[in-house]
Amino acid sequence: MSKNIYNNIDMFRKTFFTLFLFAAVSFSLPGFVSAASEVSEYLCQVGTNLFNMGKYNDALEEFRKVLLVEPDNAVAQQYINAIFAKESGQPVNTMGKDFSREEAMNYAFAQLDKNNQGSNQLQEEGEKEKLKVAGLEVTGESQLSLGLTGGNDVIWKRANGDLNEENYRTMSDDAFNRRNNTYDPRVYDRLRVSLDKKADEGFAFHSNITVDPWSFTGKSEAVNILGQNLDVAQVKLLYWSNTGYTVNQTVRTLEMGDSFALPEIKVKKGKTDPFNITSLNTNIFSIPEIKINREFQPLREIWLDYKQEGLKVRAFPLAYQDQALTSSDPLHLSNNHIWWEESPWIRRWLPGTFDSGLATPDFVPGEYDNSLAYLVRDSDGTRLTGLRGFSLDVSPLDSLSITNTFATPKDLWQDYTDYDNIINALQMKYRPTENLKLGSVYTYRLGVDEAQRRDSTNGVFGFNFDYEFLQGLLFSAETAISRSKNDLTFPNYETKSRGNAYYFSLLGRFPQESIINLDNGYFEIKQGKEESSFSKFRFYGGHMDNGFNSSLASYRETRDDAYWSRHLHFRKPFDFYYAGLYGPSMGWDDIEPYRIGNGIDIGRNALGFRLESSLWDRQMENLFDVRNVHNVNGKFVENIARDEMTIRLTDRLTSKLLGIYQKMPRTKGHVDPFLFDTNTGEYLINDWIEDGKDPSLKTGSLGLEYALTDWAAISGIWERTNDSTMAYDNFPRGNLTSSFFATNSFYDRIYREQKTSLYGQGLFPLPPYPYYNIWKSGLKLTPLEHLDIYLDYTRNEFKSAGQIDDNMNHVGFEANYSPTKKMAIYFRYSYSRWNDLERMLEGFDKIYLGHHNFFAEFKYMPSPDDELALQYGESGRSPIATVSYDPFGGSQATLDTQHIVRAYYRKRF
């Protein structure tokens, strides 16, 4: 890129951020204060009217909302004091004792049965009148929660969605980690207010103001720490209120290529206690007492739209990752990622470091880092790293559409004017005839260092077309080219790469019906209700050079099968997990396309074929899928074939069959055949792997379900397999990792990189993997219209199968009872047995231990917009958008019963 072009970009960047800063100040701060003031005023008026009518409980609810928005509101405090006085038998007046949050919570819970019997009852029978303020529609939600732990500790704020992960936390007991029993407590209060102006034409507006623990953050100043070997590390602590701890993060040193992992550190009175930490190279750094500067960030989303025929413009000073442009080209060059993964758009550029303090200096390359983007999310699974930018969608002709999005990510701790990378993505679609579509995608990403100097560039251009030469028979193809430059601020270590990518596919359906208008291609082809027989197929091929790189797309996770897809199931996937009043953030149709991988990734050639058929009014359904993958240098990677069949033998008897064969090349000594670094794609070091062994995997499974009566069905599954890796997402063996540094020389330049190796792998099966059996049975009962009971049992000869799905050795019982529309009761008990990972590492003889887990939940919904939930324990029902647990509901977040009682009160308005 020439200097003039870069200067133009820099001028545009400065102008853009100046305008954005003005927009943020104009919209965010005054808008929030104004909106909060207007909402408080309105709610105070409603509460006053209810108070004067003698409806003190309803009035208390409205004034409680006021204090969540505006804690110092004098009017609300006076009326709440008056209500307390009334309930205690004192004369009603507007003066009294000081109001506390705990008293309001206790009072609200105690009086819940009396709430919502007036106006809320009318709302349940008819359509609720929308609240409007200054012409904007006001909607929102509130939540109060309280927790009581087994140690009789009362908690009202403890939540961290990342605690649901079963990776590194299972091996740690730092801060809130409890090894096998790590889970997100999910205890927090929230008030969310959305202001909207909807319009089919003209201007539209949306804002989301949320006050919850994730709205209160903090950070320290950057502090340089001198190690014992005179290496220097710059530490900047990041704090969030949901835990009261800092965020765990990795810190690179500045001179000797070392690093250390900062743990979650308790913040007391705005400061952290001093402590020592040992680096990867066993250097000791003394971290002093550090002050945390707190911040309040209630604004989550704000955007302004302008719409007219053929044109839509959106400016979003702050928004979630869903504003990223997801291209519809076959390679998905923009925003390709698996359903549980963060969008590549919200990753940060982490500049490289030159290790000048070493006897032989080396360089750590820069990268687009996802550590914060993946970690930072709330307990609902919402990613809190946002996007700032604008988008344009224009259709100058009926046959032509142009979509462009310009954005830059912002994490919770960045100042609004700070940025480290800028993104632009453009997609054009042109349809010259009814059976031909042409398209192109262009993406560009610019990474900058702390001095705002250009440090990385990545540009990708792709051209694609779809041609339906026969109705129901569609040929698609795409070619793409990428150019990348990294570490431009270190000219001696600057790297350049370029590469090409190609894709083609042939899609078809029978009965014949046009499919060229389907945006999601193969996965949007569905069987019609009137079609007694149906089939669809896909034949595809993909190639990506080693030098090809689309920094706005990730292919590492979409190339492989989801572990839960390698087993038979008779359970239906949950519609949603822990969502309460609110619908699912994603459904089965969002997850199902990723359950079987396509093999496509950088440095690979992939060919695949899939055929799905349904015959005789769905009495028989079959899915056949096969793919062959080689490296671009011709080396064999894998060949995977599967067949899934469902046959409804009678009205009461259903059979399922599953067969998977994954042919793998012979092992290379000390290299794991399955686990790889998601950043580099390199397979991990595993000293237990011998050279020349066969790691191929085979699975055969048969299942039967018989409906004994209309309200009882029994099922059984037998699985014979040697898959003790992919079928369990490499859990728990993938947790046993350690890191070290290695250097390599390239054209007389020495680069340093962090590598990952596995340890303790002798505790698990090794290639050639031995065969074992799994027997599973289930009994479904619905003796009453609103009562569902499920009993299940699993006997697995692979005793290290963990709690991520129902293949763990266990016996379980769960029941869900909804006697009325307003009430629901759910409880679950399981007794499980597992090879204890910690005891295995310590060499104990007794490692196969039993665990009891009990969970119970009571829900009361006085109206469609109110909910009281009481919970004891912890189950596997976690937000499906955040973790890769089994979506069929067989997982357990913890092995043992957690002695915690949680109470929630939620309300929508």
- Whether the model clears a pTM of 0.75, i.e. scores above it, the answer is yes
Residue pLDDT, tens place only, 275-329: 999 999 999 999 999 999 999 999 999 999 999 999 999 999 999 999 999 999 9
Compute the average pLDDT of residues 6-10.
44
Per DSSP, the residues of 470-490 read ETTEEEEEEEEEEEEEE-TTS
Residue with tokens 């109705």: 471
Q: How far apart are CA 60 and CA 79, in angstroms?
A: 8
Residue 150 to residues 179, 638, 641: CA-CA distances in angstroms?
18, 50, 49
Residue pLDDT, tens place only, 658-674: 999 999 999 999 999 99
Dihedral, 255, 352, 279, 742 alpha carbons, nearest 10: -100
Q: Is the model's pLDDT at 767 over the cut of 70?
A: yes
Confidence band for 400, pLDDT divided at 50, 70 and 90? very high
pLDDT of residue 637: 98
Contacts of 253 (CB under 8 A, 6+ apart): 227, 231, 232, 233, 259, 260, 279, 283, 353
Q: Which helix (H) or strand (E) holds 702?
A: strand 697-709
Q: Is the model's pLDDT at 11 over the cut of 90?
A: no
- Three-state DSSP class for residue 664: coil
* Of the candidates 153, 358, 108, the residue with the CA atom closest to the CA atom of residue 256: 358
- Prior bond to 887 cis, omega within 30? no
Contact 884, 565 (CB under 8 A): no
Q: How far apart are CA 697 and CA 665, in angstroms?
A: 11
Could you give the percent of the chain with pLDDT greater than 90?
73
Q: How far apart are CA 116 and CA 121, in angstroms?
A: 6
Confidence band for 69, pLDDT divided at 50, 70 and 90? low
Residue pLDDT, tens place only, 434-493: 999 999 999 999 999 999 999 999 999 999 999 999 999 999 999 999 999 999 999 999
Residue with tokens 């009962």: 781
Q: How far apart are CA 421 and CA 409, in angstroms?
A: 7
Q: How far apart are CA 610 and CA 590, in angstroms?
A: 19
Compute the average pLDDT of residues 878-901.
77
Question: How far out from the chain centre does Cα 754 lie?
Answer: 26
Q: Considering all CA atoms of the chain, what is the largest pairwise distance in Å, rounded to the nearest integer?
A: 88
Listed in sequence order, the DSSP H helices in 348-403 are: 371-375
More confident residue, 579 or 664: 664
Contact 896, 855 (CB under 8 A): no
Cα four-point dihedral sign 254, 257, 260, 262: positive
Dihedral, 240, 320, 880, 721 alpha carbons, nearest 10: -100
Q: Please classify residue 54 by burial: count the beta carbons closer than 10 Å to its beta carbon, then call 0-12 exposed, 13-18 middle and 19+ buried.
A: exposed
Contact 881, 381 (CB under 8 A): yes
pLDDT of residue 902: 95
* Of the candidates 795, 791, 794, the residue with the CA atom closest to the CA atom of residue 780: 791
Helix, strand, coil percentages, rounded to 5, for the chain:
15, 45, 40
Let me know how long the chain is: 909
Contact 47, 59 (CB under 8 A): yes
Q: How far apart are CA 445 and CA 421, in angstroms?
A: 7
Contact 649, 674 (CB under 8 A): no
Q: Is the model's pLDDT at 124 over the cut of 70?
A: no
More confident residue, 78 or 55: 78
Residue with tokens 């072009």: 5
- Three-state DSSP class for residue 10: helix
Compute the average pLDDT of residues 365-393.
94
Contact 86, 39 (CB under 8 A): no
Confidence band for 837, pLDDT divided at 50, 70 and 90? very high
Contact 30, 296 (CB under 8 A): no
**Helix/strand/coil (H, E, C) string of 589-655?**
HHHHHHCCCCCCCCCEEEEEEEEEEEECCCCEEEEEEEEEEEECCCCEEEEEEEEEEEEECCCCEEE
Contact 462, 331 (CB under 8 A): yes
pLDDT of residue 886: 81
- Which phi and psi (to 5°) does residue 247 adopt? -85, 135
What the block records as the tokens of 607 is 């060919």
352-360 LR contacts (CB < 8 Å, sep 24+): 352/455, 352/486, 352/487, 352/490, 352/493, 353/252, 353/253, 353/254, 353/257, 354/490, 354/493, 355/255, 355/256, 355/257, 355/752, 356/255, 357/230, 357/231, 357/255, 357/256, 358/255, 358/256, 358/257, 360/750
**Helix/strand/coil (H, E, C) string of 47-102?**
HHHHHHCCCHHHHHHHHHHHHHHCCCCHHHHHHHHHHHHHHCCCCCCCCCCCCCHH
pLDDT of residue 589: 82
Contacts of 545 (CB under 8 A, 6+ apart): 499, 500, 501, 602, 603, 632
* Of the candidates 714, 715, 720, 716, the residue with the CA atom closest to the CA atom of residue 701: 720
Q: Is the model's pLDDT at 816 over the cut of 50?
A: yes
Burial 387-406 (b: 16+ CB within 10 A, else e): bbbbbebeeeeeeebebbbb
Of the candidate ranges 176-185, 192-201, 233-242, 555-564, the one whose mean pLDDT is the lowest: 176-185
Confidence band for 33, pLDDT divided at 50, 70 and 90? very low
What the block records as the tokens of 253 is 């040193």
First to last CA, the chain: 52
Average pLDDT, the chain: 88
Confidence band for 111, pLDDT divided at 50, 70 and 90? very low
Dihedral, 146, 151, 152, 153 alpha carbons, nearest 10: -50
Q: How far apart are CA 690 and CA 670, in angstroms?
A: 6
- Three-state DSSP class for residue 799: coil
Question: How far out from the chain centre does Cα 883 lie?
Answer: 6
pLDDT of residue 776: 98
Q: How far apart are CA 207 and CA 205, in angstroms?
A: 7
Rg (CA), the chain: 29
Which range scores top for mean pLDDT: 107-116, 767-776, 873-882? Answer: 767-776
CA angle 410, 411, 414 (to 5 degrees): 80
